[in-house]
Chains A and B, each alone.
Chain A
Amino acid sequence: MCAALLHDVGHGPFSHAFEKVTEDNHEQRTIEIILSETTEVNEVLTEFDAELPQKIVPFFDDTNLADTDIPPWLGGIISSQFDADRGDYLQRDCHGTGVAYGNFDLNWLIGQLELTDEDVEGEDDEQDGPSQRHLCFSNKALYPLEIYAFARAHMYQTVYFHKTTRAAEAMLRALFRKYRHILNGGGNVENVPPQFEAAFEGTELSLETYLQLDDTAAWTFFRACAESRDQDLKTLGSGLLHRKLFKCNDVTGMEYSGISALEKAIRATLEQGELDSMCYFLQYFSSDLPYKPYSPQRDNLSNAILIRDSLGKVQELSILSEPVHTLTKRKDMTRFYLPEEKRDLFVKPR
């Protein structure tokens, strides 16, 4: 439970977008936060059991998980197609955004789980070694699992990949890139929180400084950018601060040659107007595989969703469920983003 609760504690502000700035590995930072005697997290854990920090650390280092005595199914609770993280964030985000289709019956599903060492249908019987124990749902979980799989798929397509959410993310990345460019050129921006400046300078951050990189510091950074003398920083910073986000043009389905030609033309026009096209023309590609089918040759069994069929045999969910099988195809989206006043630069080819 501690591993599940703490698995993302090492993220910086705006999680993955910021990770690119510091090149810090959030899993490594999670380990550092858990092991460092200076953190409150460590204090709470050691108060319960002095060995607890060391016991949960292998969950965050999947390169070493196999060398521990932690059974793979337990690792699957922390990271798999049906893990504690998804069980938590889907329902929380669904509540937070006010959509209903992200809901599913988590408690019922947990109640239908059992541990088994029976073979999975279709798996290679010739494999050496004793059978591993794995988590498996009872047959009664079939329809709630279908609802879960579709809840996840719909949340990705409509909430996580929403055009406005992605506009903010694309602008955030462009802002970070521009600020780094200014620092690399010897420039400076006033009123940037010192921990942010340190993060962009590329020096290794102490844990103490890293922990000061929170959302409040990030919003202060946006304000500093919005008030800076650099026009590009100003546009991106104030856009994020005042929710004046770039507008989306969906080009999903266009061929590469068309997209590439369109992009070149728009960039050229922006640069004729002496604008940095990297700040005003943003391309965003999203891809999601709503449900990853299990392949015995390629995947770890602890990552799969297993369920008993009506005869009691253990199957992988997408084999048993036709609706879930339809989710095994990747969904891609390509979008161009431009400031509202530059939106007419985009002319979708017929």
Chain B
Amino acid sequence: MKHSFELLAAVIAAFPGRKVYGRTRLQKSIRLLQEIGYPTDYTFRMHHYGPYTDEIISDLQILEHYKLAKETHQEGEQLGSRNYYVIEATNLAPDVPELEPYRDVLSLLIKEDSTVLELAATYVEYLRRCDDSDQAVERLIAKKGSKCAEGRKDQAIVLATEVLKHGDRITAIGI
């Protein structure tokens, strides 16, 4: 059985250039992967940008300690744009076969716009807490407001549904 920090390292290493741009992207990607059975065991809570866990931050510290990853703080390039973290896996990433069944889903997440990813993870979090999907959508709109505009809410629901379908397939194959 792998430690959660090893599972996290494998996900970071699977991003293009072994780099994840933004803690939010990493948090939301892990939240969605965990939903469909990727064996991290993080406890997420609803935060400013949707589901979030301090446990990922703690695991990043372990990865830095073991020199498996490093995190750097970057200032936003344009005036008024937000600062962000870049998390980069080193070449020492642990061997984690557990990630294999989830690579297709991860490719979907990597391609996706960061805000849509945030909305999809938030929607999935609400699906867990609500009686039905309509209620989850209502709460998503109430929480995220204008971020849901310009079709992003619908894109997020499509993405979440696609991720959950992948999860069903992985379960059916019995991995």
Contact B92 A25 (CB under 8 A): no
Known: A256-B67, A278-B1, A332-B65. Is A25-B45 also a contact (CB below 8 A)? yes
Contact B73 A298 (CB under 8 A): yes
Contact B94 A256 (CB under 8 A): yes
Q: Is B46 in the interface zone, CB < 8 Å from A? A: yes
Partner of A287, one of B43, B45, B46, B61: B61
Q: Which of A288-346 contact B (CB under 8 A)?
A: 295, 297-298, 330, 332, 334
Q: Is A272 in the interface zone, CB < 8 Å from B? A: no
Contact A259 B66 (CB under 8 A): yes
Contact B58 A20 (CB under 8 A): no
Number of interface residues, chain B, beta carbon within 8 A:
20
CA distance A285 to B5 in the complex (A): 11
Known: A256-B92, A283-B3, A298-B73. Is A20-B65 also a contact (CB below 8 A)? no
Q: Is B158 in the interface zone, CB < 8 Å from A? A: no
Q: Which of B121-167 contact A (CB under 8 A)?
A: none
Contact A256 B83 (CB under 8 A): no
**Interface range, A side:** 20 to 34
- Shortest CB-to-CB span from B74 to chain A, Å, is 10
Contact A20 B43 (CB under 8 A): yes
Q: Is A260 in the interface zone, CB < 8 Å from B? A: yes
Residues of A within 8 Å of B62, CB to CB, are 285, 287, 332
Residues of B within 8 Å of A37, CB to CB, are none
Contact B75 A297 (CB under 8 A): yes
- Enumerate the 3 nearest inter-chain pairs by beta-carbon distance, A residue then B residue, closest first: A256-B66, A332-B65, A287-B61
If A20-B43, A260-B94 are given as contacts, then 11 extra A-B residue pairs at C-beta distance below 8 Å, sorted by A number, are: A23-B43, A63-B46, A255-B66, A255-B67, A256-B68, A257-B92, A283-B3, A285-B62, A287-B65, A295-B73, A297-B83
24 contacts between A and B (CB under 8 A): A19-B43, A20-B43, A23-B43, A25-B45, A63-B46, A63-B47, A63-B48, A255-B66, A256-B66, A256-B67, A256-B68, A256-B92, A256-B94, A257-B92, A285-B5, A287-B58, A287-B61, A287-B65, A297-B73, A297-B83, A298-B73, A298-B83, A332-B62, A332-B65
